[in-house]
Amino acid sequence: MAVEPASSMSTPDFGALVARHRNYFLSGATRSAEWRKTQLIALRSMMKDHAEEFYAALWTDLRRNRTDADWTDVKYMTSEIDHVLAHLRRWMKPLAVSTPLVLTPSHTQVQFDPLGVGLIIGTWNYPVMMVLSALVSAISAGNAAVIKPSEVSLATAEVIARLVPEYLDRNAFSVVLGAVPETTALLEQQWDHIFFTGGSTVAKVVMTAAAKHLTPVVLELGGKNPTIVHSSANLRVAAHRIAYGRWFNSGQTCTAPDYVLVFKDVAKAFLGHLKETLLQFYGEDPQKSPDYGRIASSHHFDRLTKLLSSGTIFHGGQHDGTDRFIAPTVLVNVSPDSPAMQEEIFGPILPVLEVADVREVIDFVNARPSPLGLYLFSDDRSVTKQILNSTTSGDACVNDCTLQPILHDLPFGGVGNSGMGKYHGEWGFRTYTNARGVLYHSTRLDSAVRYPPYDRNQRLREFVLKSASMAPKLRASLGSYRIPLDS
């Protein structure tokens, strides 16, 4: 029996919803490569068939233009699905591992089993990518899932809720619309996996709920991503790439540069390039630019305008509450203790602080919670190596920023305060599977060396253990003419 999307139910029974999906999962219907591919192809068709609806919804929610919507949402999703389809059978193939000689004849492997029924809680700033990318990972691993899009990006959430049941297997997937009460009720259910994108405050609520059932979680939380501009950097290119990364989606990006640490001897020149770049990108009146977005809600607009007093406005600062518009803004003379440096900005404001040397950079970064991304602009390899080896972040870019989520083969996710767990591509497939070790041991031989009485077999046991320890060296010496010792 097909499961209707929970958004269409007058009184949703989430317990029954999860039970239906779990019964379907336990039937084995989701495990085959054919089922997984069918669902992925259907999801790709959904994105292509209804691209115009997604463009319109993203414009309504975030004033995201079509070029940006393709880059991070519509065409990005079709590209990610194509990548998974191209590699899925290889990922699903069990991984052979070595078996001790004492267990001959036998062989050992790791098979990747789906976890079951997952909950995907999306966010509003990338309401397509941050929901459907997790869904792609869940499908690729053979799972069922319930999707909870963000109520802040309501237009996009409603498109997802309407289309997913039309294209995907309703026995395996549902969409729930709503806000805090619905999310709270969903978290009370027993899940096999929870994927959450958002802030650390809500993440603690999610993790507490997951702990009741020892449910594994992926938390993608963002953070204050440091961006370092070294004296050796190409300052014009750095300005272009930092501006693009910071002000794409009006700065409402978890991987965006949150602040800049620029070396004092190039600070003035860098700021000049940054101002020139912003004028080039968005013009003298960015409110009229078709390429510049809007703040998602009045709440976030009010929060962001309070941060404008955290330093001296070097460029920008204009804002209009009726349009939820805040101009691309650069702050200088910013104290590390200022409000803008105490929380993730998540908006179009960029503090620029000056530093004296590499040691100051490392100490500054390490004194704060581990970020989702760390960005370093430098043409000095020794500096690059020193900073990367002395700091921690979920991901990092050298001479670029913000791009790591769109690279299908990179593990994307945070560390420490910026989250846990990785996904995209094969990393997402592994996240949604249990790596299950399996030993296949033949009964043709049943050596007495492992059984009591131990005194009787001591010398034989010592010989077998010594032989087992020599097996790797023997394999290495045989090279391509390896004897299958563990078969």
List all residues 6 or more positions away from 288 whose beta carbon is below 8 Å from its beta carbon.
none
- Identify the three-state secondary structure at position 408: coil
Which CATH number does the domain housing residue 46 bear?
Answer: 3.40.605.10
Same structural domain for residues 124 and 269?
A: no
Whether 143 and 283 share a structural domain = no
**401 a catalytic residue:** no
Contacts 24+ apart (CB under 8 A), 392-395: 392/366, 392/416, 393/225, 393/418, 394/370, 394/418, 394/419, 395/255
Give the domain extent around 381: 226-413
254 annotated active-site? yes
What does each C-alpha distance from 480 to 202, 468, 483 come to in angstroms? 54, 20, 9
Separation between Cα atoms, residue 138 and residue 141, nearest integer Å: 5
The DSSP symbol for 68 reads H
Contact 437, 108 (CB under 8 A): yes
Boundary (domain end) residue, out of 413, 442, 472 = 413
Catalytic annotation, pick one of 80, 254, 401, 426 = 254
Q: Are 25 and 143 in contact (CB under 8 A)?
A: yes
Contact between 274 and 315 (Cβ < 8 Å): yes
Across 224-381, the runs of DSSP E, i.e. the strands, are 226-229, 259-263, 312-315, 319-320, 325-326, 329-332, 349-355, 373-377
Statement to judge: residues 188 and 239 lie in one domain:
no
Choosing from 413, 448, 473, the residue where a domain stops is: 413
Please check whether residue 340 lies inside any domain of the structure.
Answer: yes
230 with 198, same domain?
Answer: no
Q: State whether 131 and 16 are in the same domain.
A: yes
Please report, to the nearest 10 degrees, the dihedral formed by the alpha carbons of residues 236, 241, 243, 248 taken in order: 160
The structure tokens listed for 459 are 């010398």
**pLDDT top residue among 266 and 467:** 266
Taking only the tens place, the pLDDT of each residue in 216-250 is 999 999 889 999 999 999 999 999 999 999 999 99
Note the pLDDT of residue 4: 45
47 lies in some domain: yes
Report pLDDT for 368: 96
Please tell me whether residues 241 and 196 are part of one structural domain.
Answer: no
Distance CA 65, CA 328 (A): 17
pLDDT at residue 173, rounded to an integer: 98
- Is 475 among the domain residues? no
CATH number for the domain including 387? 3.40.309.10
The residue whose two tokens read 């989701």 is 30
- pLDDT at site 233: 98
pLDDT digits (tens, 9 = 90+) for 336-368: 999 999 999 999 999 999 999 999 999 999 999
- Both 285 and 143 in one domain: the answer is no
Annotate 273-306 with DSSP letters as a single string: HHHHHHHHHH-S-GGG-TT----S-HHHHHHHHG
CA distance 236 to 456: 78
- Distance CA(355)–CA(340), nearest Å, equals 18
Note whether 170 and 263 are same-domain residues.
Answer: no
Quick one: 187 and 315 in the same domain?
no
Catalytic residue among 151, 182, 188, 220: 220
481 in a structural domain: no
| Dmax (CA) of the chain | 90
Q: Is the entire prediction scored with pTM above 0.85?
A: yes
For residues 300 and 394, state if they share a domain.
Answer: yes
Residue 344 lies in a domain: yes
The answer on pLDDT for 485 being more than 50 is: no
Identify whether 455 is part of a domain.
no
How many degrees, rounded to 5, is the angle at CA 432 between CA 116 and CA 143?
35
Mention every residue, 6+ apart, whose C-beta is less than 8 A from residue 49. Answer: none
User: Are residues 355 and 429 both part of a single domain?
Assistant: no
What residues have CB less than 8 Å from 481, skipping those under 6 apart?
Answer: none
Question: Is the pLDDT at 479 greater than 50, yes or no?
Answer: no
Q: Is residue 457 part of a domain?
A: no
Confidence (pLDDT) at 463:
67
Question: How many domains is the chain built from?
Answer: 2
Q: Tell whether the model's pLDDT for residue 171 goes beyond 70.
A: yes
In a domain, 472, yes or no: no
Q: Are residues 295 and 205 in the same domain?
A: no
